[in-house]
């Protein structure tokens, strides 16, 4: 674990000198020091870091929930749902069509629909932090789309498992989906009406007790969420959403910051450990086609979300590039596909596709002004938003 931290730190320091984002460098460290690359292998089995990696994911999404206040949901719930539905329709639909055109099988096509259709919540969160855009107007639809994706994800996983495993238990699939939806509804009700009570329970002037309390709550609810068939990430997000609206919200955000950075690095490092570079050449053309298709669909989705929210070309470009990366969910699907005995080309395809977009996503987000110039109405990097006012300076970083 110490070697993982140090390797990630060294590569990130070197990359920062030439302007590279930290996420792909953390992943690269995992690839270079993992079991699939010749040379020194710090970790022989990626599962050895699985719990630490999950903790990193939980903390990343918990922090995202702290930033995404309940007022944002109350004020933009309808537009958030429409933007999220549009994003899913474009990307999941394109992924399903791509899956059938590749010709690997119906179950494989359903897996590919999820791989191409769902953004990486962890990478999107890190991109927003690294680019300083958490306070930008277009960040609300970005976070809203992530929430809609995670709700879709919970139902999608519950329905997909019996299909790819060949089980004929449709009643069981419906029961699992209902259980997941019911738990999500419970979390939403608590977040909407239970904030005052939660605020009294969590409040303390002792930083040590506050850290233990919010960390325990985030991890516990994430674990319970997974037991109910809901992604652990959305459980952690909902806890952050609840605590962010309490009087302790600002203090919690300060205290969780170093924990988020440290274990977030381990999450991306562990992601790199799972990638075998030797498997990539066999699926290079399907990967490149899928990447091009995802780029196109994200641009269309960014334009659609900007139109829904009344934004101009620059926010549209920010939305399209921020949501580009794919990551942890695709790896979950790769694991499910391998366990179900699906086409062996799926695993290297997913690894190559995710690696390219995990690198391309942060790079594109940092240079979204280039995309804004070629979008309809985009005359340059300082193109106005839909309200006619210039975007905050942070959005240009």
Q: What integer pLDDT is reported at residue 70 of this predicted model? A: 61
How far apart CA 122 and CA 55 sit, in angstroms, is 12
More confident residue, 393 or 266: 266
Confidence of residue 183 (pLDDT cuts 50, 70, 90): confident
> Domain coordinates of the chain in residue numbers?
57-264+282-325+333-374
Q: What integer pLDDT is reported at residue 173 of this predicted model? A: 64
How confident is the prediction for the chain on average, in pLDDT? 83
**What is the mean pLDDT of the segment spanning 237-260?**
90
**What is the mean pLDDT of the segment spanning 184-196?**
82
Q: What integer pLDDT is reported at residue 343 of this predicted model? A: 86
How far apart CA 167 and CA 48 sit, in angstroms, is 31
Q: What integer pLDDT is reported at residue 384 of this predicted model? A: 43
More confident residue, 122 or 242: 242
Q: What integer pLDDT is reported at residue 393 of this predicted model? A: 38
pTM for the full predicted model: 0.74
**241 CB burial (10 A radius; 0-12, 13-18, 19+):** buried
Instruction: Pick from 56-60, 91-95, 187-191, 329-333 the range whose average pLDDT is largest.
Output: 91-95
Q: What is the dotted CATH code of the domain comprising 57-264+282-325+333-374? A: 1.20.1530.10
Sorted by sequence, the CB contacts under 8 Å of residue 173 that are 6+ apart come out as 158, 159, 161, 162, 163
Give the CA distances from residue 248 to residues 222, 226, 365, in Å, rounded to whole numbers and listed in that order. Answer: 20, 27, 32
Q: Picking from 166-175, 283-292, 297-306, 376-385, which range would have the lowest pLDDT averaged per residue? A: 376-385
SS3 238: helix
């Amino acid at each position: 674990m110490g070697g993982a931290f140090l390797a990630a730190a060294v590569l990130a320091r070197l990359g920062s000198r030439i302007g590279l984002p930290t996420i792909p460098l953390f992943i690269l460290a995992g690839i270079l020091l993992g079991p699939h690359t010749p040379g020194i292998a710090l970790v022989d089995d990626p599962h050895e870091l699985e719990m630490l990696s999950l903790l990193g994911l939980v903390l990343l999404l918990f922090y995202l929930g702290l930033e995404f206040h309940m007022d944002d949901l109350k004020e933009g719930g309808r537009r958030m749902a429409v933007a999220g539905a549009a994003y899913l329709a474009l990307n999941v639909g394109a992924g399903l069509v791509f899956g059938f055109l590749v010709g690997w099988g119906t179950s494989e096509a359903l897996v590919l629909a999820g791989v191409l259709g769902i953004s990486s919540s962890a990478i999107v969160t890190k991109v927003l932090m690294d680019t300083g855009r958490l306070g930008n107007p277009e960040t609300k639809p970005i976070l809203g789309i992530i929430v809609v994706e995670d709700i879709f994800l919970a139902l999608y996983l519950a329905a997909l498992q019996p299909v790819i495993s060949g089980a004929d238990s449709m009643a069981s699939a419906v029961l699992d989906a209902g259980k997941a939806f019911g738990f999500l509804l419970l979390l939403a009700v608590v977040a909407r009406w239970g904030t005052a009570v939660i605020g009294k329970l969590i409040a303390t002037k002792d930083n040590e007790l506050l850290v233990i309390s919010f960390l325990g709550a985030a991890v516990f609810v994430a674990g319970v969420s997974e037991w109910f068939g809901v992604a652990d990430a959305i459980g952690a997000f909902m806890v952050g959403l609840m605590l962010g609206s309490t009087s302790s919200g600002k203090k919690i955000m300060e205290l969780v910051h170093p924990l988020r950075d440290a274990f977030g690095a381990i999450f991306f490092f562990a992601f790199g450990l799972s990638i075998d570079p030797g498997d990539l050449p066999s699926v290079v053309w399907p990967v490149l086609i899928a990447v091009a298709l995802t780029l196109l669909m994200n641009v269309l989705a960014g334009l659609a979300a900007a139109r829904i929210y009344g934004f101009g070309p620059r926010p549209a470009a920010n939305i399209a590039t921020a949501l580009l990366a794919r990551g942890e969910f695709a790896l979950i699907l790769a694991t499910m596909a391998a366990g179900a005995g699906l086409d062996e080309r799926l695993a290297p395809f997913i690894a190559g596709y995710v690696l390219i977009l995990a690198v391309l996503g942060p790079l594109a987000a940092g240079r979204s002004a280039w995309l804004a110039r070629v979008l309809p109405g985009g005359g340059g990097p300082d193109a106005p938003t839909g309200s006619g006012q210039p975007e905050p300076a942070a959005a240009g970083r």
